[in-house]
Amino acid sequence: MSKKEEYLRKPEWLKIKLNTNENYNALKKMMRENNLHTVCEEAKCPNIHECWAERRTATFMILGDTCTRACRFCAVKTGLPNELDLQEPERVADSVTLMNLKHVVVTAVARDDLRDGGAAVFAETVRAIRRKNPLTGIEVLPSDMGGISDNLKMLMDARPDILNHNIETVERLTPRVRARAKYHRSLEFLRRAKEMQPDIPTKSSLMIGLGETKEEIIATMDDLRANHVDIMTIGQYLQPSKSHLKVVKYYSPEEFQELKEIALSKGFSHCEAGPLVRSSYHADEQVNAATKRKQQLGEQEVKEA
């Protein structure tokens, strides 16, 4: 078999519509002028044209553009990070104002070189956005910050509207897929976040197509629910370069729909599942849908009581 034949051909449902209209170009210009990074660009997100050009949304990536981890699925640059930019929180908050965002997602590279894992800058970014944009929903997507409880507490004390931390893959594949991260440490991170601020929804994402089984996907759902995770997203893994892990399977839209139904049956307040779904994809809609479903379930329980 030739090297070309070793790679699975992308199915029709994974074709992406490119759109570089005025919104797209204006957002790109603003990010560069303010020396800001987005996970949309750094991680080569397949939805960047839809989000930037049509929805005018972006996921800010703070703490620089260089990650201390080298996960085998991720396109973000790895190496020795630069010094912290303490003005970054204010620039992010100003950009949220310029974009007039109703919901903003803030993620970051892993900073294992810092004692607090970057928690202080993360927390200050939340506070800066809140000061300048009091009506904007704030979703944070941190690394596990070394699994140190005090780091997580620093972030949770800033009271983001939603705490998102990605489990990424099933337990068996974690050592191969995620550098330095641990499956059960991520579960503990999510559980502790809920214990610290019970009223703040938690969320996690799973990418599939790396060789996991359906039974392992369902077991991951159970593990997330056992640790009180409210919202789940499930998306197709796409190989960002030849040096990254290969795609083992492309799941069909019908298979994603089935997984979504299974997730909802297990008690998640919302599940977004599809070939191009990413953790922050339509994040504002995910929160609204989760809130609505939670209310509906609560009303149903009252009627049945």
The answer to whether residue 214 scores a pLDDT higher than 90 is: yes
Q: How many domains does the chain have?
A: 1
Residue 3 pLDDT:
47
The answer to whether residue 49 scores a pLDDT higher than 80 is: no
Q: Is residue 27 part of a domain?
A: yes
Q: Is residue 144 part of a domain?
A: yes
What is the pLDDT averaged over residues 34-58? 59
Instruction: Name the residue among 35, 58, 56 with its Cα closest to residue 45.
Output: 58
Count helices and strands in the chain by DSSP H and E runs: 12, 8
Q: Is residue 3 part of a domain?
A: no
How big is the chain, counted in residues?
Answer: 305
Residue 90 pLDDT:
95
265 Cβ contact list (under 8 Å, min separation 6): none
User: What CA–CA distance (Å, rounded) separates 222 from 54?
Assistant: 35
Q: Is residue 244 part of a domain?
A: yes
For tokens 């892993």, the residue is: 110
CA–centroid distance for 185 within its chain: 17
Band of the pLDDT at 6, cuts 50, 70, 90?
Answer: low
Most confident of 4-18, 151-165, 239-253: 151-165
Strands 59-62 and 37-38: antiparallel
| pTM confidence score | 0.83
Q: Is residue 12 part of a domain?
A: no
The answer to whether residue 16 scores a pLDDT higher than 70 is: no
User: What CA–CA distance (Å, rounded) separates 239 from 248?
Assistant: 10
Give me the residues paired with residue 234 across strands. 206, 273
The answer to whether residue 23 scores a pLDDT higher than 80 is: no
Domain of 261, in residue numbers: 17-304
Q: What does the angle CA 33 – CA 50 – CA 291 come to, to the nearest 5 degrees?
A: 105
The DSSP element (H or E) to which 103 belongs, if any, is strand 103-108
Residue 1 pLDDT:
40
Q: Is residue 251 part of a domain?
A: yes
The DSSP element (H or E) to which 84 belongs, if any, is none
CATH number at residue 157: 3.20.20.70
What pLDDT, in 10s, does the model give residues 171-208?
999 999 998 899 999 999 999 999 999 999 999 999 99
